């Protein structure tokens, strides 16, 4: 019998299921070819729906892999989505941003190990999604950055909590404050990535890891995941991020961000 999530078609996701002698491994691929797998509202709804479906399975997969199609992991928030935020009120954005974060960070609630196979560039919220996973394999040549402040907005998608949680306040704060770009080898050197390999090998390395995890006792892993993370602390951070981003979205600086992107130039911020 096919799983419920295997029989459902998604517009911005692709799902593959691999049966092993120890159980099933599910792979989820972000797939928005027109904009480098950028995050849209629809993609978020589909992602949350899929995660919910996996959680409701009678027999859970042994591991889940999250990766990207189109030779990239995720370019962050879709431009049209970002532009729509600049046209909403503070209250609307505060509400919508919190909901948008929840779509993608629902991955953190999966009771099985989740591996981010970061097969190419991951920027902004796209990088945050990888931080929401349990383990990460990065591409040597990939470009990774929390570019939020360079877009005139407070970091979102849980990055203000997840980055210090994983890397400590010093390095985590540095990456958020500077918006600097780093590669997979740097991610491995600082412990963010379990491994960094050429991008053509990222998915196979992630599958190798998933097969290894599938050998462990599933109930023990499920209990471990309950105890590893505090959703309450993350939820509190998400509420603060949503409020801060909502304030930024109605600023002149963010309007300048959108204008500069469309005109293909560097933004000139005034602090208004």
Instruction: Tell me the pLDDT tens digit for each residue of 89-126.
Output: 999 999 999 999 999 999 999 999 999 999 999 999 99
Kindly state whether residue 163 falls inside one of the protein's structural domains. yes
The residue ranking higher by pLDDT, 8 or 102, is 102
The pLDDT assigned to 230 comes to 78
Beta-carbon contacts of residue 250 (< 8 Å; ≥ 6 apart): 86, 88, 89, 90, 93
Reduced to 3 states (helix: H, G, I; strand: E, B; else coil), residue 65 is: strand
Band of the pLDDT at 9, cuts 50, 70, 90? confident
Residue 255's φ and ψ, nearest 5 degrees, are -60, -35
Answer for the pair 163, 175: CB distance below 8 angstroms, yes or no. yes
- Can you tell me the mean pLDDT for 49-75? 96
The share of the chain scoring above pLDDT 90, in percent, equals 94
- pLDDT score at 1: 40
In a domain, 3, yes or no: no
Q: Which pLDDT score, from 0 to 100, does residue 8 have?
A: 79
Residue in 111, 105, 122, 119 with CA at minimum distance from that of residue 220:
111
Residue 178: inside a domain, yes or no? yes
In a domain, 7, yes or no: no
Our count of domains for the chain comes to 1
Q: What phi-psi label fits residue 40: left (phi over 0), alpha (psi between -120 and 50 degrees) or beta?
A: beta
Has this prediction a pTM greater than 0.75?
Answer: yes
For residue 25, what is the domain's CATH number? Answer: 3.90.226.10
Domain that holds residue 153: 13-200+217-263
* 212-233 pLDDT tens trace: 999 999 999 999 998 998 788 9
- 149-187 pLDDT tens trace: 999 999 999 999 999 999 999 999 999 999 999 999 999
Is residue 254 pLDDT above 70, yes or no? yes
Does 242 fall in a domain?
yes
For CA atoms 112, 100, 242, 263, the dihedral sign is: positive
Instruction: Assess if residue 145 is contained within a domain.
Output: yes
For the chain, the average pLDDT equals 95
Q: Does residue 36 lie in a domain region? A: yes
User: Which of the pair, 2 or 11, is modelled with greater confidence?
Assistant: 11
Alpha helices in 23-74 (DSSP H): 41-55
């Amino acid at each position: 019998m096919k799983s419920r999530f295997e029989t459902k078609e998604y517009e911005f996701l692709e799902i593959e299921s691999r049966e092993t002698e120890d159980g099933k491994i599910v792979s989820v691929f972000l797939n928005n070819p027109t904009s480098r797998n950028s995050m849209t509202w629809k993609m978020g709804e589909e992602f949350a729906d899929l995660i919910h479906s996996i959680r409701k399975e009678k027999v859970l997969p042994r591991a889940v892999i999250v990766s990207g199609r189109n030779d990239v992991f995720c370019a962050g928030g879709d431009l049209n989505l970002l532009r729509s935020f600049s046209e909403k009120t503070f209250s609307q954005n505060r509400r919508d941003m919190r909901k948008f974060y929840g779509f993608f960070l629902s991955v953190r609630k999966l009771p099985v190990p989740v591996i981010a196979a970061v097969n190419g560039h991951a920027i902004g919220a796209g990088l945050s999604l990888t931080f929401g996973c349990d383990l990460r394999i990065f591409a040597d040549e990939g470009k990774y950055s929390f570019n939020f402040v360079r877009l005139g907005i407070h970091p979102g998608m849980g990055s203000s909590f997840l980055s210090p949680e994983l890397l400590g306040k010093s390095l985590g704060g540095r990456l958020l404050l500077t918006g600097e770009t780093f590669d997979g080898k740097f991610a491995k050197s600082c412990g963010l990535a379990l491994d960094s390999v050429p991008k053509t090998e990222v998915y196979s390395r992630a599958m190798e890891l998933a097969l290894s995890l599938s050998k462990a006792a599933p109930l023990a892993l499920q209990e471990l995941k309950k105890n590893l993370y505090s959703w309450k602390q993350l939820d509190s951070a998400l509420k603060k991020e949503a409020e801060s981003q909502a304030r930024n979205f109605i600023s002149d600086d963010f309007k300048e961000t959108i204008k500069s992107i469309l005109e293909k130039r560097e933004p000139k911020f005034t602090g208004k």
